[in-house]
Amino acid sequence: MSSSSLPEPSLTASTLTPPTRTALPFLASQEIILNELTDTLAQISQAQANAAIHAILNAPRIFLTGAGRSGLALKMAAMRLMHLGLTVHVAGEITTPAITTGDLLIAASGSGTTPGVVLAAVTASKAGANILAITTAPASPLGTVATNLLVIPAATKQDDSAIKSQQYAGALFEQSVLLLTDALFQTMWHLRGENAAQLWKRHANLE
């Protein structure tokens, strides 16, 4: 039998580990994720988003920090802010300078208690910088030190109740960070009036 005539593999309970779980069809999984994102993003405060945009566009320099997948989402946001022509640094990179008065730190932590993120926010605040916190918990240590908040009403990593999200380990928050910052970018891009060709000139050419 040729390889082209081999049957397509099927996803059944017997192919999963552990084998006791019933397979969830891919399209159903996709629908769960998209519905959760639509519902969550619709609840984000327009006033908070507008304040965040004002803080970003008026900061002389922007720094971003987050751990794990939240940190990866913010690195994607950092690239887009660079495309806008803003001065952007990712905390922890070897060439990142000291944050100082008037700068903006964008910090993401679902729980608002991630030690490294909270420490960075406290350090930035002591240096006179403004803090834009993206979190699910406005009363958390990160939230209370923040100048501006973007509250995402998603489940935190250790919330496995499946009430706010059926996804695993804070995935909804991390996905929302990416889409929220992309929406902020989209808004700022149109506010600044540059076309795509102008932004593309700033794209990395040493990749």
pLDDT tens per residue, range 172-184? 999 999 999 999 9
Is the Cβ–Cβ distance between 150 and 44 less than 8 Å? Answer: yes
pLDDT at 6 over 60: no
User: pLDDT tier at 110 (50, 70, 90 boundaries)?
Assistant: very high
Residue 66 amino acid letter: G
Give the SS3 label for residue 65: strand
Give the residue numbers marked as catalytic: 174
User: d(Cα 29, Cα 39) in Å, to the nearest integer?
Assistant: 16
Closest CA to 72 of 64, 63, 61: 64
Closest CA to 150 of 60, 33, 53, 84: 53
Query: pTM of the full predicted structure?
Result: 0.86
Return the DSSP state at 14: G
Give the SS3 label for residue 193: coil
User: d(Cα 176, Cα 71) in Å, to the nearest integer?
Assistant: 12
Helix spans in 127-170 (H): 141-145
User: d(Cα 119, Cα 125) in Å, to the nearest integer?
Assistant: 10
Domains present along the chain, CATH in parentheses: 46-200 (3.40.50.10490)
| Average per-residue pLDDT for the chain | 90
174: left (phi over 0), alpha (psi -120 to 50) or beta: alpha
Helix (H) or strand (E) holding 106: strand 104-108
pLDDT tens per residue, range 112-170? 999 999 999 999 999 999 999 999 999 999 999 999 999 999 977 667 776 778 888 78
What six digits make up the tokens of 91? Answer: 């905390």
**pLDDT at residue number 167:** 85
